[in-house]
Structure formats: C-alpha cells, structure tokens
Chains A and B, each alone.
Chain A
Amino acid sequence: AQKITQTQPGMFVQEKEAVTLDCTYDTSDQSYGLFWYKQPSSGEMIFLIYQGSYDEQNATEGRYSLNFQKARKSANLVISASQLGDSAMYFCAMREQYSGNTPLVFGKGTRLSVIA
C-alpha cells in the first residue's frame, strides 16, 4: 500500500521569498511517480510538477522544483519567489508507474498563505 504524509497543515511565507512544502511517502513499488497539485479556493486541482522514481535529476517547472531524496523517501516542493497568487492548498500525491489507471494516493495537504 502507498502512503503520503504532509506534516505541515499550514505555512506562511513572505511575498518574493522561497518556501518548502514537505512530503514523505511510503511504498513497496519499485517504479512510482510523485506529483504535486495546487488547489486554490476556486476548487480546481492544478497539476504542478512530476518526479519519477528513476529520474536522476530533480524536476523543475518554472518557479516550482521538487527536491527528491529517494533514500529518505521525501519529495518536497520548493516554490521560489512566492507570489500572492500562490496562496492555496497544496497536495502531494503518488501512484505506481506504467499501470494505466491506478488511482492517485493523496496526502492531507498543506495550506500556504503568502503575505504581502
């Protein structure tokens, strides 16, 4: 069984500063994928970034980067130069790779508030 743990219920960050959202995971799968989603108050789940378990480089997408430490089973999201629009709920999720429609397993989420 897979499990995602997000230990920070809420985080505050000053505008233009960087922030790290923590995510640890547990799985017996050898091949898996890790995802981060952003959910603003409007409700839509927005895909941010993906990291495969065999990817040698940490994933980056614009201001988002994923700090992947496989031995520690952690996949932290780093947001650089925070903006007011980054205020939202952030979910870490995982699933087995190459398995078609295997469901995502979500963490409980971290609410990020960006302060002007």
Chain B
Amino acid sequence: DTEVTQTPKHLVMGMTNKKSLKCEQHMGHRAMYWYKQKAKKPPELMFVYSYEKLSINESVPSRFSPECPNSSLLNLHLHALQPEDSALYLCASSPGDRARQETQYFGPGTRLLVL
C-alpha cells in the first residue's frame, strides 16, 4: 500500500482565518514533505521532516507553520494567509532511510483558496 491521505480536499479561507491541513501515511516512512503547487507549474518544496524533526525549511513565510506530531502525521497550520497563497498543497512521504531509490509518494492534495 502506497497511500498518503490528505484532508481536507478543498479549503476556502479568509485572510484572518486559522486553518490546518492534515496528511497521514501508514507506510512506515520516516521522511515527510510539504509542497506548494501553482497552476501549470511544478511542485515547490516547502518543508521536509526527517524522523519527526524539521530538516528543511525553504524560507517559507511564518504564516505557514508545519508540525509533525508523530511519524505518521504531518500538519500544516495556516494563519493570516494572502490571496497569492492560493494553490494546491501536496504532502509526500518517503522511506527516509538512505535507500537507493527513496521514492516519494504523494497524497491527493488540498486545493486552497484564500479570499
């Protein structure tokens, strides 16, 4: 099973709202990722967690706050977002054990609209 789940599928929020995106995997993967994807563009890496510790933050604004409560869950807390933050947010996971292949498996994404 290579399933990564994400909730919600769609989210509309105002610029003063606080919301959270959730991601879950049960493949025993130890690396988890958040990507942002604008229309007709490739995914852009935001954060990487390795063994539940934040290992990469690609200079993401503080209005995005990641959290990894345990090895299966990854959250992205959103606060005071801007309309330009509207995008598809993708979560991914990979074994994280320095394997040769280290394939990343993606969830279905959350389509976020900021009004």
Contacts of B42 in A (CB 8 A): 91, 106-109
Contacts of A98 in B (CB 8 A): 98-100
Q: Which of A33, A43, A108 contacts B102 (CB 8 A)?
A: A33
**Interfacial residues of chain B within 27-61, with CB under 8 A of chain A in the complex:** 31, 33, 37, 40-43, 45, 48-50, 55-56
B64 within 8 A of A: no
**Interfacial residues of chain A within 22-46, with CB under 8 A of chain B in the complex:** 33, 35, 37, 42-46
- Are A101 and B31 also in contact (CB < 8 A) when A44-B107, A44-B108 are? yes
- Cβ-defined contact, A103 with B56, below 8 A: yes
- Cβ-defined contact, B111 with A97, below 8 A: no
- Cβ-defined contact, B108 with A101, below 8 A: no
A104 within 8 A of B: yes
**What is the bound-complex CA distance between A50 and B104, given in angstroms?**
11
Contacts of A57 in B (CB 8 A): none
- Cβ-defined contact, B111 with A101, below 8 A: no
- Which among B45, B102, B103 has the highest number of chain A CB atoms within 10 Å? B102
- Cβ-defined contact, B101 with A43, below 8 A: no
**What is the bound-complex CA distance between A103 and B43, given in angstroms?**
11
Residues on B close to A: CB < 8 A?
A: 2, 31, 33, 37, 40-43, 45, 48-50, 55-56, 88, 90, 92, 94, 96-109, 111
A selection of 12 A-B contacts at a CB cut-off of 8 Å is: A35-B103, A43-B90, A44-B108, A44-B109, A45-B106, A47-B2, A50-B101, A52-B100, A97-B102, A100-B97, A101-B50, A101-B55
